[in-house]
Structure 1
Amino acid sequence: MKKKLTVAVLGAALLFTTGAGSAFADSPMEQEINQLLGTRYSYGGTTPNGFDCSGFTMYVFAQLGLKLPHQSGSQFEMGSSVSRKDLRPGDLVFFNTSGRGISHVGIYIGDDKFAHSSSSRGVVINRLTEEYYVQRYVGSKRIMNDAKYEEAVSGTS
């Protein structure tokens, strides 16, 4: 019951924060992320029973037909670099949370927010402008080509 309530509250928060009229609203990617909000963190986890950060991104992208490796550093090697000011929903955002290079990844969802599996809170949404993430931000990668982006984020093909 508690997880369902948390998911409902977080899902409603995502709806209000992304804006009902945005390109991201009601998209396949948004729907996938919404149903995973509140999922517990699990080291090495790759399923809705529990995710680590790269397991979460790997799972979401797999539901959209894209294969990612299960390691944030390996995901960072994919796609093309994109500046923070040019981010679009579906881009991956990377952080150095360990002091030893790429150690965390999330999915940009628009409005300066990203979804990720936090080791302390499970699958949640945070702002890139939060001091913790500003200090640890390493870069972003665009994994989806324009056609896949339209399909996954806009809901058109």
Structure 2
Amino acid sequence: MRIAIICIMLLGSVISFGQGKYAKKSQKLYERHKYDKCIEKSKKFLKKEKRSAEIQQYITLSYLAIYEQSEAKRKSSNLKKALLSWSRQCKYNSDSIDYSNIEESLRLAILEDLNLVETKQRLLSYYHHQLAEVFLDTTDYYRSLYSMAQISPIQKDIGPVFDSIIITNKKRRQLIEEANELIGVNYKYGGIDTTGFDCSGFTQYVYKSIGIELPHNANLQSKMGAEVSLEEAQAGDLIFFGTKKANHAGMIYQNNNGEIELIHCASRGVRYQNHSDLNTIYWLEKVLVVKSLIHEVLD
């Protein structure tokens, strides 16, 4: 976590170009580690330069820095303030500036604080809602937060079928074979191995089998590779769902003349879904982007 915070502290020197005068003042206070002063002054600056994401980011960064330095009993309170500031920063970000480093540090801070609040149910619930609603990570709350279509029951005696002959690319075939072996593994928030996966943990694990390292974050994964249309999608391509950001990741299992089959890890664990599955229909209505990374790997 400290490494992530250090990276964020270095961010200021990178983003100063093109900033307004008030944002530069906030930046100077932040870089001098005057975090309380930075928050106080930045709030005043926002009255003069309203809805400035550039100024608001220094409030977020300052709360994050204070969180890192806080004693255990104050950590959650300061992290909540950082998250509130982040939500405002996102609203103000009309120019779509890339603040993914700050986003990732906040997400990691939540994961760190979750280890400290195991018995505080209200706080646990708050953090899981933040992860799902703000950072778009799947959690055990996922199905209650996002209205899903009725999922058809799994018929355990009918497994997925794919024609390995028509998958001529060795890497794509290897991805599907690896994914097949994982069907039935349970969903586990933050999971990255066969004891349990979340959505991006599953895709990360499968792609590692062909030598491609993916970040453990659906939205960051969606920024990798070359975009392809759903019609052109092939077995092994990554498919992401959401609106402005990817909130769920999966993999194309097969594309039979436009009939898309999926394999992904959601609340019921790793599941294969054919094109007529109600859950497949639900997800395909929410496709954000399809990405191919296979062209970057030699067969």
Query: Which category describes the TM-score, using the shorter chain as reference length?
Result: 0.7 to 0.9
List runs of 5+ in structure 2 lacking aligned partners: 1-153
- Taking the TM superposition and a 5 Å limit, the aligned residue runs for 1:1-150 are 9=157, 13-15=159-161, 18-19=162-163, 21-23=165-167, 27-96=173-242, 101-111=245-255, 112-119=260-267, 121-127=268-274, 130-145=280-295, 147-148=297-298
More helix by share: 2
SS of equivalent residue, structure 2 residue 160: helix
TM-score (norm 2): 0.41
SS of equivalent residue, structure 1 residue 108: strand
Report if aligned partners of 1:45, 1:51 keep a CA contact under 8 Å in 2: yes
Q: Which has the larger radius of gyration?
A: 2
What are the Cα deviations for residues 11-37 of structure 1, in whole angstroms up to 9, with x where unaligned?
Answer: xx223xx2354317x932222111100
The alignment-based identity, stated in percent, is 30
What are the Cα deviations for residues 57-89 of structure 1, in whole angstroms up to 9, with x where unaligned?
Answer: 000001111100000000011011100111011
Q: CA deviation at 1:127?
A: 4.2
SS of equivalent residue, structure 2 residue 219: helix
Report if aligned partners of 1:128, 1:134 keep a CA contact under 8 Å in 2: no
More deviation in 128-137 or 99-108? 128-137
TM-score (norm 1): 0.76
**What is the rounded CA distance, in whole Å, between the counterparts of 2:174 and 2:281 in structure 1?**
30
Report if aligned partners of 2:201, 2:216 keep a CA contact under 8 Å in 1: yes
SS of equivalent residue, structure 1 residue 14: coil
Q: CA deviation at 1:131?
A: 2.9
More strand by share: 1
The root-mean-square deviation of aligned C-alpha atoms, in Å, is 2.6
List runs of 5+ in structure 1 lacking aligned partners: 1-5, 152-157
Query: Number of matched residues?
Result: 136
Higher relative contact order (CA 8 A, sep 6+): 1
**What is the rounded CA distance, in whole Å, between the counterparts of 1:108 and 1:59 in structure 2?**
15
Q: 1:101 to 1:60 in 2, by over 3 A?
A: same
Residue 250 of structure 2 aligns to which amino acid in structure 1? G
